[in-house]
A and B are shown apart, each in its own frame.
Chain A
């Protein structure tokens, strides 16, 4: 890949401004007590320190998205009969996601295997994915938190998988490495200079962050361990005891990709929408007969953890459907900790 570049902190607004002239640029900004991704506008103050409260999931997978519009009408020849027109819109806006942590961008690698499947690839997702470039920022020891566990799931604080450009904080600014062609194109900007002299410093920042995370426990047996615990409802009741089924853990998760489909009528026309949905809710699997295969929060938490650490890896070459960002732990109102649940299941299987 291309040589390392460097951008001084005070030049960053210039770079963002030039990027924002060509596409939507989403940056983490403080809002309502949290940090969320919002379109950059000159003068806006991005927060590049600690990880955003909400991941950049909505950049490619909006919380609410139109699948198509429909229009009903009357048949010109037979006014007693109706007509129906369906108008899909799959275009996506060119977007740069700037300043997410590597785990937030890596989340889309989990999506890709599902949304870019061979039989029914998802055109809305694919178009948005192709129109989006990720400029992520490697973590330094200053932003490694005790909820982070990316190193448990095969990643790390400077993992570039899923990123197009990786920035690393160094004295006075950031190094910038292009990881894809899309990323290299962004580094063409004259506000960036050669960063060869800073490369060693960047490497030690990355190494220190990795070190700060400490050792990762071995959870490689989690797929089998979680299946082994499937019928042990006492175990799952214990694990889910505190849960209040709020769903925050799924909505804030960069790897949770489930959705629902609903119609929004306005008179004779309207739209079919898809929006984020969560397996932590009772309605998610409620059948028309009234039967619900996941009637309690214990069943539902079992599915959430099982999906990430067992079912998904079973279908996708062992890849865990969690990027270890720790958002579900940090934002859970009652401190349910997915790490503990996985470890408890692994320990339970060992007997």
Chain B
């Protein structure tokens, strides 16, 4: 739990388990060493944390386990630079620092009673996973749930241990897609925005939540607009270079909005109102 007295001081946590998701994505399940703090810890779907490998530094990652499953906090890390490379070297029993929860969550209360369309690309599935699982754990509160998850190739799909459950459940509608044909692949082939247009979910009483690489988000937004989703019905999360994560260091602003405290979740309507600096 981020200490209100010293928000820069991470909580020491132990890595319980790691999962090599893809060649460059690794999942970490961690628990705070201070059991009382772990028991008191709360967060909401979409909030993030700073994971630190002392000696190297800190980086921002979404807490991608849902608050309904508090045995551990899960982070999935794509190798991108120094901190992420260091984290990839960790295994069960190793210590990390955690500053969490930071940022604003998805408006999951306002989404109650609505149909939900998740569109995730690559590591962008991580922020969606927390909300997706939260909704599955509160299934009766939400209408139809559609999940469209795409990656470049079958080997690039994270959370592969969960995919059979997601595709076989009858109370959700899951579509997996990859960019190009691959041997043994039994699901869709095609770029996410095109598959989305094919699925053509109705915007009526629905919200769409999308996250992925910038180019995928751009074309997914276009597809959602074609399907007549209003700007207010579309949510995404933004990535900015962050340091403090608490609105002080001044790094992550877009005009007067600070992504670390006002985001990372924004509706498309909110995004359009921000200065054009993504």
B-binding residues in A (CB < 8 A): 67-68, 70, 72, 78, 80-86, 88, 90, 114-115, 117, 119-124, 227, 230-231, 257-263, 265, 270, 272, 274, 277, 279, 284-289, 291, 293-294, 299, 303, 306-307, 310-312, 314-315
Which of B7, B240, B255 sits near A120, CB closer than 8 Å?
A: B7
Is the Cβ of A277 less than 8 Å from the Cβ of B249? Answer: yes
**Which residues in chain B, 221-276, are within 8 Å of chain A measured between CB atoms?**
239-241, 243-244, 246-251, 253-256, 261, 275-276
Complex contacts, B9 vs chain A, CB 8 Å: 67-68, 86, 88
Check A230/B275 contact, CB under 8 A, given A84-B97, A88-B6, A257-B250: yes
* Shortest Cβ distance from residue A130 to the other chain B in the assembled complex, whole angstroms: 15
Q: Known contacts A82-B94, A82-B95, A231-B276; decide if A68 and B248 are in contact (CB<8 Å).
A: no
Of all chain A residues, which has the CB nearest B90?
A: A82
User: In the assembly, what is the distance between CA of A284 and CA of B84, in Å?
Assistant: 19
Report chain B residues within 8 Å CB of A299: 277
For A257, the chain B residues whose CB sits under 8 A away are 248, 250
Docked pose: A124 CA to B9 CA in angstroms: 12
Q: Are B240 and A294 in contact (CB under 8 A)?
A: no
A33 CB, min distance to chain B CBs, angstroms: 30
A117 B248 Cβ-Cβ under 8 A = yes
What is the size, in residues, of chain B's interface with A at 8 Å between Cβ atoms? 46
Q: A227-B275, A261-B58, A261-B243 are in contact. Are A284 and B256 (CB under 8 A)?
A: no
B residues at A contact (CB < 8 Å): 2, 4-10, 12, 52, 54-59, 80-81, 84, 93-97, 213-214, 239-241, 243-244, 246-251, 253-256, 261, 275-278
- Whether A285 lies near B240 (C-beta < 8 A) is yes
Q: B58 to nearest A CB, angstroms? A: 7
Query: Are A122 and B251 in contact, with the CB atoms below 8 A?
Result: no
Minimum distance in angstroms from A147 CB to a CB of chain B: 24
The answer to whether A287 and B84 touch across the interface, beta carbons within 8 angstroms, is no
B256 touches A311 (CB 8 A): yes
Q: Are A287 and B240 in contact (CB under 8 A)?
A: yes
Min distance, Cβ B52 to any Cβ of chain A, angstroms: 8
Q: How far is the CA of A94 from the CA of B249 in the complex (A)?
A: 25
User: Can you list 27 A-B contacts with CB-CB less than 8 angstroms, sorted by A residue number?
Assistant: A72-B95, A83-B95, A84-B97, A86-B10, A114-B248, A119-B261, A120-B2, A122-B7, A122-B248, A227-B275, A259-B248, A260-B243, A261-B58, A263-B57, A265-B55, A279-B250, A284-B241, A284-B251, A287-B241, A288-B80, A289-B213, A293-B277, A293-B278, A299-B277, A307-B250, A311-B255, A315-B256
A282 to B: closest C-beta gap in Å: 11
Assess whether B57 is in contact with A84, with CB atoms less than 8 Å apart.
no
The answer to whether B241 touches A285 (Cβ under 8 A) is yes
Instruction: In the A-B complex, list the 8 residue pairs whose CB atoms are closest, starting with the nearest.
Output: A258-B250, A288-B80, A84-B95, A311-B256, A265-B55, A120-B246, A70-B54, A120-B7
Give, as a whole number of angstroms, the nearest-CB distance from A96 to chain B: 26
Best-surrounded residue of A82, A261, A274 (most CB of chain B within 10 A): A261
Residues of B within 8 A of A277 (CB): 243, 249, 251
Q: Give B166 Cβ to nearest chain A Cβ, in Å.
A: 27
B12 near A263: Cβ-Cβ < 8 Å: no
Residue of A with least CB distance to B94: A82
The answer to whether B256 touches A291, judged by C-beta atoms less than 8 angstroms apart, is no
Q: How far in angstroms is the closest Cβ of chain A from B247?
A: 7
Given contacts A257-B250, A263-B56, A263-B57, contact A68 B8 (CB under 8 A): yes
Chain B: minimal CB distance from A285 (Å): 5
Q: Report yes or no: B4 in contact with A120, Cβ–Cβ below 8 A.
A: yes
